[in-house]
Amino acid sequence: MRNLYLIDGSGVAYRAFFALDQNLKTTSGIPTNAIYGVTKMILKILEKYVLKDEDAIIFVMDKKTVTYRHKLLESYKANRPETPKIFKDQIPYILEIVNALGIKTIAEEGVEADDVIATLALKGENNFNQVYILSSDKDLMQLVNDNIKMLRIGRGITDIIEYDIKKVYEKYGFGPEKIQDFLALTGDTADNIPGVKGIGEKTATKLIKEYGSLEEIYKNIRNTTKSIQNKLENGKEMAFLSKKLVQLVTDVPLEINWEDYIYRGFNENLEKLLNEFEFRSILKELGLKEEKKFVRVENLPEIDDLSGKGNYELLYEKDLPEFFEKLENQNIISFDLETTSIDPYQAEILGIAIAFEPKKGYYIDISKESYDKKIKILSELWNILKNKDLIGQNLKYDLSVMKIHGFDFKVPYFDTMIAAYLVSPDSRRFNMDDLAKKYLNYETIKYDEIVNNTLFANTLKDIDPNKVAEYSGEDADITLRLFHVLRPKIYEFELEKVMFDIENPLIPVLAKMELNGVFFDIPYLKQLEKEYTKISNNILQEIREIAGYDINPNSPKQIRELLFEKLSLTPKRKTKGGQFSTNAQVLEEMKNDHPIIQKILDYRKYQKLLSTYIQSIPKLVNKKTKRVHTSFNQTGAATGRLSSSDPNLQNLPIRETEGEKIRNAVKAEKDGYVLLSADYSQIELRVLAHMSKDPVLIESFKNDLDIHTITASKLFDVPENQVDHKMRQIGKMINFSIIYGVSSYGLSERTGVSINDAGIFIKKYFELYKKVEEYQQQILSDLAKNGYVETIFGRKRFLNSLRLNKNDLKRIAINTPIQGTASDIMKIAMIKLNERLPEYAKMILQVHDEIVIELPKDKVDEVSKIVKDTMENAVSLDVPLKVDINVSERWTK
């Protein structure tokens, strides 16, 4: 190892920010002056000094932390001007570009970057020929010696001045060892180090050259002039305190393997990042490819104040010509319908709220107009809006209502509900009222407030239009304000691809699926209700006969009394309230303790099937369409998976015969029609293969081998042709369990093997798939460094902000990128299917890895080819995607 280069990352970034034009931005609005400056400085160092595969280089960053210096001086750095937001916004990008340049970063809690640099420099003296420190901070100059040199940034951002001992003498008139004394006298305004009031650099230099150190200066204070003597006496306490403040910590506990920091060159992300930041000159300088792409230029004005009440105007038909003319000149428009129902098929449109500048909104009241007049007004409006960048809150609903009234779907530009979800997927609350409070500190007018406070009012149709204009105009305005807050966050967190290429185009696809609906065979469900009610009653009678008295198996209290008092069985665990638990998991563990327990489980199972599905679904059939219309939620799962509600059709049971019978109630509505189910085969394992780059997994999938048999063969040390069904099932279980970061205990629970054997299985698994273990460790390492995990498309989950125990954090961190990537692939496939499917083939359901399509039976071959081709080629991975097709009159698995 030749030389060590230590970069004062925080200092260099700050220097770059103030040295370059702060208006430097990408066309999408990302500020880049500090990113550009840091990139240019590092490239200069790499070009002029660093030798690849020999030299080590480290980028050292400050953490926002309290150090011993803050305790010494409460005002330490307190008076420093607040760090500009556009500088702070660039820090994550700077860390990315540094990583892409092939340089690793260190940041330590409880100490400053200078102390880390000092410790690394002194450690490095014993391992390298020369240590170089790139910084503008004078206090680091005290480290300069025969083996340590300082590289100070001169004019601009690429003028580098090298300081050795001789150069320090030339600059100050004394050696590096006196820098601490010098700063004790002069202070440092940047760090709020006070020094001695009235003593400048010239006087300090003279005193140090004459007396040598701060201590000697005070010993000889009587030999100084009266003026200097007074200043020194008045500032003595601050002088010695300042000397402590500038003293560098050189023993920060760091475990360093220097080999990890040897410079190996740029990594594969550099070209992508330089294109993203639009650093065309650097791309050209490095001989990298510049991407020519269409970039949206929005030219939005800077909004200084998004708080406070707005002004909202009520418009009638006579006001519209002038208003529509004004609307034509706008680009980004917030849009919100007011209707009488949350069911798009039942909703009557009462009015339309529009906003295109913060704190100003308009409400077009059409509640009293005839249907034909409403459609005329809506047509004129939609002819304008369909060519604009449409933003809104939960636009899927508005698009669905517009579609039912005859207007084509449009891909929205920005949905604030989805944007808020993407930047904080674990928040769970994404309604506009909560977002307004969270991001704008604004209390919105609530629907219930204006409806409930009006006598005999049932909907907004019964409310004074002026009040509706206040309520609805505010909705459009607040949505626009949220857009101005959330759009920069989408770019800041690099979520553009997920939002603009996946989530936004999916909105009209889901709206279309919801409107298509699902047909249920209601007579079949009624027959099933009779069958299951009879079975349930028979089981209840058996329970009562065994117990010897009437009992309600759904009552935890009565079951507790039966099991633990009357039958004297041993309880397994307690509830949070301190009672012995009788939930399903506990009863499953106890089912071999007494025959009545299996009966209780069976009874509860049939009761749940009856209440949750068989009796509920017929009540949800839409009177107009005769179909059930679920809602597909894009914000329902933090991993990116879609969820379903009202009713949850993704949760129809399939594992047991009793559950499959309910699923079979879903059928094609018309004679001569069938259901086509397209299911991604082992998609999460294929994603794991791609993300881990494991050669065994990749080759297995490329050659279409049985991955579960291969795994079982390794686990049980038998040839693949001797793997029986039970072995393969355990192989399958561990394959899918590894995706969830399973522990020995967890695998033991799932497979029934001992914890020790489960641990051996996991060890053998990682012996076979070595890269999988490395990948999982890298995920956890990246999480510790970045605070989030992400899919291959950039969807992020910010786990460090969650209160999770270590095991849960590990499990979620390992699973989220895989499940999220699989979900993103399915969404991309749905978007492409929507474009390619003929009109007669309708997507009606999506259940995680499966799409269900209703189509004419004689078109199955044609549509199967389209579906298989589209889904298998939705994205390109290191392994092929495989789709299984099943066709039937009823939904089967």
Token digits of residue 831: 């978007």
Residue 209: count of CB within 10 angstroms of its CB: 12
Averaged pLDDT score across all residues of the chain: 88
Percent of the chain with pLDDT over 90: 51
Q: What's the per-residue H, E or C state across 719-770?
A: CHHHCCHHHHHHHHHHHHHHHCCCCHHHHHHHHCCCHHHHHHHHHHHHHHCH
Between CA 225 and CA 777 the distance in angstroms is 65
* Residue whose tokens read 């030219």: 299
Whether pLDDT at 34 is above 80: yes
pLDDT digits (tens, 9 = 90+) for 281-319: 788 788 888 775 433 434 445 555 677 788 999 998 899
pLDDT digits (tens, 9 = 90+) for 92-137: 999 999 999 999 999 888 788 888 998 999 999 888 999 999 988 8
Q: Is the separation of the CB atoms in 813 and 781 below 8 Å?
A: no
Please report which confidence band the pLDDT of residue 746 belongs to, taking 50, 70 and 90 as the band edges: confident
Whether pLDDT at 156 is above 80: no
Token digits of residue 5: 């280069």
Please report which confidence band the pLDDT of residue 675 belongs to, taking 50, 70 and 90 as the band edges: very high
Between CA 536 and CA 446 the distance in angstroms is 45
Instruction: Give DSSP secondary structure letters for 179-190.
Output: HHHHHHHH-BGG
Between CA 696 and CA 771 the distance in angstroms is 9
Q: What's the per-residue H, E or C state across 602-619?
A: HHHHHHHHHHHHHCCHHH
**Res 460: pLDDT:** 75
**Res 302: pLDDT:** 52
Q: Is the separation of the CB atoms in 883 and 679 below 8 Å?
A: yes
Does domain 3-164+249-286 fall into CATH 1.20.1250.20?
Answer: no
State phi, psi for 844 to the nearest 5 degrees: -120, -25
**Res 159: pLDDT:** 73
| Rounded average pLDDT over 875-888 | 95
Whether pLDDT at 344 is above 60: yes
| Rounded average pLDDT over 651-679 | 90
Please report which confidence band the pLDDT of residue 489 belongs to, taking 50, 70 and 90 as the band edges: confident
What does DSSP assign to residue 623?
Answer: T
Residues contacting 215, CB < 8 A, separation 6+: none
Query: Is there a shared CATH topology between the 311-492 domain and the 521-620 domain?
Result: no
Between CA 329 and CA 357 the distance in angstroms is 12
Element (H, E) at 887: strand 883-888
**Res 88: pLDDT:** 86
Does 664 or 205 have the greater pLDDT score?
A: 664
| Rounded average pLDDT over 76-105 | 81
**Res 295: pLDDT:** 38
Question: Of the given ranges (19-23, 625-629, 646-650, 785-789), which has the lowest mean pLDDT?
Answer: 19-23
| Domain ranges for the chain | 3-164+249-286, 311-492, 521-620, 639-694+777-893, 699-768
CATH class for the region spanning 521-620: mainly alpha
| Rounded average pLDDT over 374-379 | 95
Going 590 to 591 to 596 to 600, the CA torsion angle's sign is positive
Determine the topology of domain 639-694+777-893 in CATH. Answer: Alpha-Beta Plaits (3.30.70)
Residues contacting 149, CB < 8 A, separation 6+: 130, 131, 132, 133, 162, 163, 164
Whether pLDDT at 78 is above 50: no
**Res 305: pLDDT:** 66
Long-range contacts of 376-380 (CB under 8 A, 24+ apart): 377/317, 377/320, 378/349, 378/352, 378/402, 378/405, 378/407, 379/407, 380/320, 380/324
Element (H, E) at 680: strand 673-680
Between CA 360 and CA 354 the distance in angstroms is 9
**Res 693: pLDDT:** 95
Determine the topology of domain 311-492 in CATH. Answer: Nucleotidyltransferase; domain 5 (3.30.420)
Using CB atoms within 10 Å of the CB of residue 342, give its burial: 0 to 12 exposed, 13 to 18 middle, 19+ buried.
exposed
Whether pLDDT at 76 is above 50: no
Question: Of the given ranges (28-37, 698-707, 769-778), which has the lowest mean pLDDT?
Answer: 28-37
Please report which confidence band the pLDDT of residue 454 belongs to, taking 50, 70 and 90 as the band edges: low
pTM reported for the whole predicted model: 0.67
Most confidently modeled range among 34-48, 216-230, 388-402, 726-740? 388-402
pLDDT digits (tens, 9 = 90+) for 161-213: 899 999 988 888 888 888 888 888 888 766 667 788 888 888 888 888 888 88
**Res 60: pLDDT:** 93
Going 558 to 562 to 566 to 570, the CA torsion angle's sign is negative
Token digits of residue 227: 């003026």
Between CA 644 and CA 632 the distance in angstroms is 5
Whether pLDDT at 709 is above 70: yes
